[in-house]
Each structure stands twice: as C-alpha cells, then as structure tokens.
Structure 1
C-alpha cells in the first residue's frame, strides 16, 4: 500500500540528508514497519497450532532483511541455490527452509540436501525418480488444481501454469514418494498473486485441506503441514481497500478447527508471504535531473527500470510523492528513466505537483519485487539498498553495482574448444 504515515514521518524529514550522504537512487526499507507486519501476521494466525511463515526470499533477497525474518521466527521459501545459501547464512535450519523446486537440475537437489537438508517441495511427479539417494524422509508436493479452480487475475488460469502436480496425479505422487522411503508429508499450493479479496485465500485453504483429506483417505498417511502459498495482496493505489487479515484469519482458522474435529488432528498451516511482508515497507528514492516538453511533458530521473521493472512489464501502478512540493500547482507528466526502451517509465500521464530539477521523488511499494527484479540491460546498473532502522539509524545493506561488477564475468582465464 502507499507507504504508511509512520514511515513517512520517520523518513521524509531526513530524506534530503540521506540522499546527500548516500547519493541517489536508492531503495530504502522500514525496519519498524516490517517487524510490525510480522507481529500482526503471527497474531492473526495464532489460533492454528504450529503456524509458520516461510518468507518468500525472491521478494527481497537481502541478508539484512532475512535477519529480520529470522528474528521473528520465520522460515524461508527458496527456489534457487543462492536463496538457499542466504537462508542458511542467517542461521535457518533444515525445518526452516522450504525449497520449492521448479524445473530442478540435479545439482540443485544436491544443494538442497546439503547442510542437513531442507523441506523439499517437488513441483512435478516426474521429479520423484530424480531426487538423489537418500530420499528425504519428509517430502512435499505442489498441487495445481487445473480446471477445478480459477486462478486470480494476476496469476492466471491454473491449466496454463507450468507449476505443480495435477489433481489426477496427486495421490500417485505421494504413493511413489512413500515407495522411495518418505515417511512424513506436506502439501503445498499457490494459486494467487497480489490478491486483495480475502475470500479467495479462504477458499485456497479449504481446497488444500480437501486435497489433504483425499490423499489421507486413499493412502492412510497424515500430513504434518499444508502450505497455502503466498499471494496476499497490498493496495498499490491509495483508493484500494487492503486485504482483510482479521476476517481471513478467522475463517481459515475455523476450517482447521473443523478438520481437527472430524479427524482428531489437523496439519500445521504454513504460508510463504513475500510481497505482503515487505512490499509496503520499501520505497525507491530518485532525483529529477531533466525535463522535456514534446508531445508530452517528461520528467527524467536518475533511476530507470533496472531499479524497478514492474511499471514497465506489468503496467503496474506505484504511487509517487514529491516531498517539499506541497502547494505547487499540479501537472500531468510521464516520469521516465534513461534506458533505451520506451517503456522505461515509472508513471504515465500521472498528475503530480510541478516537479523541478533537483527534487526528490519517492516511489512507493518497492519493498518486494523491486530491486530483486533488477537487471543490467543497456549497462544500467542496480542501485544501493538502505535500511531505516527502528532506532532512526540508516544503514547501507547493499552497495550499488559498479562498472567492475558489470565487467567481472567477462574477466577470466581463456578457455576454448577446438572443433
């Protein structure tokens, strides 16, 4: 959601000083806001015994952010070797890491099994035979409901998704895993992205419990946990209504209570929220450096889509503040970067206070899928990341990329193959 008033009050009075000290552009994250969101999530689902959040590392893969998650008792949802390494580096143990495979290569299975292993969440029934010995005692599968469920508007039709085992495969997947030696079981699904309608998440929980019940009845196994995935949405636009966490948690808790009443036990519920945990608690700060009047009025800034891709690839809306411009007349502008791509725009035909060269712009909701989705096209490098600590300190938590970084992978011992 557009940044909280508390975040603004902590940041805006010191913003020019921060920008002068560190330079622009930069992403800056709010420690106090992240910790508060984590506390609210734990409180909301406290009625489900053994509830666990596995933070989706892909949303904001920074060691200092992962340290905050570990401090709150959260685990980590990983899908690559670097994400595994980061989770282990902040002290996560085997049961605190869920490795959700996706077109997984043999060396990735080896990495997942290293250092005591992790919770292996397989994406496809064909992967069972490819998991190296010893086969994990605890195994999980990602379930894709296909035509049995309509995906939300962002994640799309489950039939077209590359993820997960089908409904007709799910029982056989657990049978084959048991034959390979699995004795403990989990079940996972992910059918939403940035969903603001809480009832969709309730129905996801209902669906996954029904699938668990189906497998239990067929094979006589018990599930240690079910994972309802992520997808909790944040209101990027100021007039969007936030996700109703209180009603959602009450109704999901009731589903688990009903399951326990019917079966004498219920699995733990886990989830992998990323965007909801950190998205609203980050902003991209960039400085206006040019203006251009042609067929439109353009405001050029010193960041580009290497810092934030979402507006370019999704047409996503990110709210923009211009601190210090209060009271100025407004104008309709495109806010653009310097990349040689016409979609390198943070805002298109947006009404904003008149922006003067040298003004700082604060682009909201970049705490998830912001810096993480950056790239180096056109030789434009990714910016630094800062953390606004709860005690008021501002800490550099990732330096900006340099030309040496860009050239590093082109500097190596010669290697050729004669044909």
Structure 2
C-alpha cells in the first residue's frame, strides 16, 4: 500500500518547492503520521496494566525521529554501542533503553553499564559469566527452536544465531540469580514484517507460558515480557494493513487470563521499528537519464546506497511520478541508480507514467531500513534527510554525506609494528 493519503496530500503539492530548495535526492519523513501511529499503538494496548514500546533505533537512527519517540513516552531498543550513545545523547538511561546485542564484547558491556545503565537483554547463556557486573534486572532473549516457526523473513529459529535455547533458558536465569540478579524479564524476536497479527498473539502466549514454567521451577516472577518487533507494513498496493486493533484486543485478553490465573500481570514490551516509521518516509529523486536497450531504464540521481532493500531482498517499493498518474501515457521500465552493480535497481519492469529527464520520482515506505542501511561502496555518499513537520515546514535533520566524510578515516596518525 502506498503512503497514506494524508501524507501524500500534504507533501505532493509542495514537493517541487522542497526539491528546488534542498536539491535531490533526499529522504523526507512525516512527523504527523509518525505521531499518529504512536497514538494508535498506545491505544491498542491501553487495557494492559503497563505497556512500553522501545523504538528499534536500527530502523531510523536520527535524533529528530528518536526525540518524537521520546516525546510519546517510548524507550529505545539498541543493539550496538553507537545506538546506545545516540539514545543517551537524548537523556535516555536505565529502563529507557533495552540493550539487545549479540556476540557482545567486554567493552560493549562496560559501556552499557555507564550513564545510568540500561535493561540488559542477554542473547546467550555464556554471557552470564562475561557480564562485568550482573545488574539487578536481567532479561534473556529466548529462541524456541523447533517449538515455533519463524516467519518468512526471520526463518527457522533452529538456524538463527540469536537467543538462548529452550533447554538452556531455566539454567540461564538460575546462573544470573547466582550472580545477584533479583528482577527478571523475558524477550523473543521471531518475526519481521509480519502482516498476520495472530503470529504476535501466539508469541505473547508462548512467552507467558514459559514465564509460568520458569517461575514454577525457580520461584521468581517476571516484571515484563518483550514480544519483539516485526509488525509489518503493506509495501504493495494490494496488501492489507496490519490489524493493530485486533492484535491489541487478543493480546490484552491473553494478559488478563494470565493475571486471573497467576495473580499478577507483567508489563508488555515491544520494539517495533518499521511499523512506527516505515510508511511515513519517502525517498525523493530526479530522473536524469533514459536508456532504451533490451529494457527501458530510467536512471535517477541516487543509487542503492540510499535504499538497498530492493537489491538485498527483492523488496517492492511503490513509486509515484510527481504530477503524473495512470491517466497519462504508461510504459514499463526499470528504475535504476548509478552504482557499478547490476542489482542497483529500485524497480524492475514496473508500469509507470512515461518519465522524462527532470521528473521527480517518489519511492515509498523508506522510513525504516532506508537511510539506515546505506553504505559507501563505489564511494557513493548517502543523501540528506528532511522532516515534514506538524508546523507545516520542511526541515533538514541530517545533511548529505560529503567527500570529506568519506576520506575522514584516512586522516590518522601513522602507526606500525615491527615483526
């Protein structure tokens, strides 16, 4: 499904002016749409005693976006030290941060302990003895193995490098208790871009059943379960939206049943990224070349370094041509960039209005895993990021990369080791 009608109605009439002022290419994000999705998420889980969303920083690690999440009462899901640093620059600390790394070094653990700490979510039972100082509150990432199937993107849990196995999970908490942990959470992440909300309901059920098993064995209670992220968005026009309200109703019932049986209700945590910002961003480019050989190729002024999902996953991103629609002459084209790789394509054999040099193309749903997954192969530089604000302004929230950024790591003090 393309971006919302609301976003389109506010952006498209002013987009040519934005392009003239800032120049293309750029990602632009919709503050209003992001805040509306935040409100929808909170409303869906209002019936649970305590709910907290941790925005997956990896999806769109821009301080302006993270500040919106903070304003809405959300925390941050971090998986690296730089994501920790970015979150802490906004004042996040302690329970505001869920730190879920894997193959974590001692240096990373030490940084996690600093500046008020964070909720430490351990990915492996072997890490219990590697944590420099066991925090009071500890969480483990659970991998159910053959007890559960992952969705198409995540794949089979038995082949995933993530998480503590079912046979290890009770002993993981036992070992953490021996090192001083007294408060507990439980986490899993089994889906990515999942449009069937029942999968998430089943995940909540699975974790709550596991909580009961661990509690019976060790005599502990759990402060929260974290069902991870993975809520999907409809990239294609013929896909239905994720049924957030249906998910909220059914998970709330599951939690209420747990409370009736066990006398308490743990908090529900989630760590959605794509669902929160994905549909609220677009990549805006200009057509700069037309090539007619075996296919017709429309060359644009950026490449897959600005959006690699189509090349990496074969992912579909809807494309509009500003000022043109299906009532215009149509043609079948490949929309491509300038990278020296043949998979540098935003669309393959896509039917679009006839495109001329200078036309503005809008590539939809780039508000997550777009700019964030960029790279510098071929010396390509990532584009700027803008925000369409609720005040009705277009604001620069990250400048474009420049050659001096690319060469910055070549400015170093000479060092050598005689061997």
Alignment partner of 1:48 is 2:28: no
Alignment partner of 1:364 is 2:364: yes
Q: Deviations over 1:378-408 (max 9, x none)?
A: 0011100000001111110000000000000
Alignment partner of 1:211 is 2:219: no
4+ residue runs of structure 1 moved beyond 2 angstroms?
none
Matches of 2:234 and 2:195, distance apart in 1:
7
Map 1:114-129; keep pairs closer than 5 Å.
114-129=114-129
Q: Deviations over 1:173-218 (max 9, x none)?
A: 0000000000000000000000000111110110111111110010
Matches of 1:401 and 1:115, distance apart in 2:
30
Deviates more, 1:85-94 or 1:172-181: 85-94
Map 1:35-114; keep pairs closer than 5 Å.
35-114=35-114
1:383 corresponds in structure 2 to 383
2:281 corresponds in structure 1 to 282
Alignment partner of 1:139 is 2:138: yes
Alignment partner of 1:195 is 2:194: yes
Matches of 1:241 and 1:262, distance apart in 2:
35
How big is the shift at 1:282? 0.3
How big is the shift at 1:63? 0.3
1:256 corresponds in structure 2 to 255
Matches of 1:384 and 1:417, distance apart in 2:
40
Q: Deviations over 1:335-360 (max 9, x none)?
A: 00000000000000000000010000
Matches of 1:208 and 1:101, distance apart in 2:
20
How big is the shift at 1:93? 2.4
1:292 corresponds in structure 2 to 291
Map 1:173-252; keep pairs closer than 5 Å.
173-252=172-251
How big is the shift at 1:23? 0.6
Q: How many residues align?
A: 418
How big is the shift at 1:232? 0.2
Alignment partner of 1:155 is 2:154: yes
Matches of 2:243 and 2:384, distance apart in 1:
33
Alignment partner of 1:164 is 2:163: yes
* Unaligned residue ranges in structure 1 (runs of 5+): none
1:26 corresponds in structure 2 to 26
Matches of 2:212 and 2:381, distance apart in 1:
49
How big is the shift at 1:367? 0.1
Alignment partner of 1:322 is 2:321: yes
> Per the alignment, in what secondary structure is the counterpart of residue 266 of structure 1?
coil
How big is the shift at 1:303? 1.1
> Per the alignment, in what secondary structure is the counterpart of residue 194 of structure 2?
coil
How big is the shift at 1:90? 1.2
> Per the alignment, in what secondary structure is the counterpart of residue 186 of structure 2?
strand
Q: TM-score, normalised by structure 1?
A: 0.99
Matches of 2:37 and 2:390, distance apart in 1:
14
Matches of 2:213 and 2:322, distance apart in 1:
56
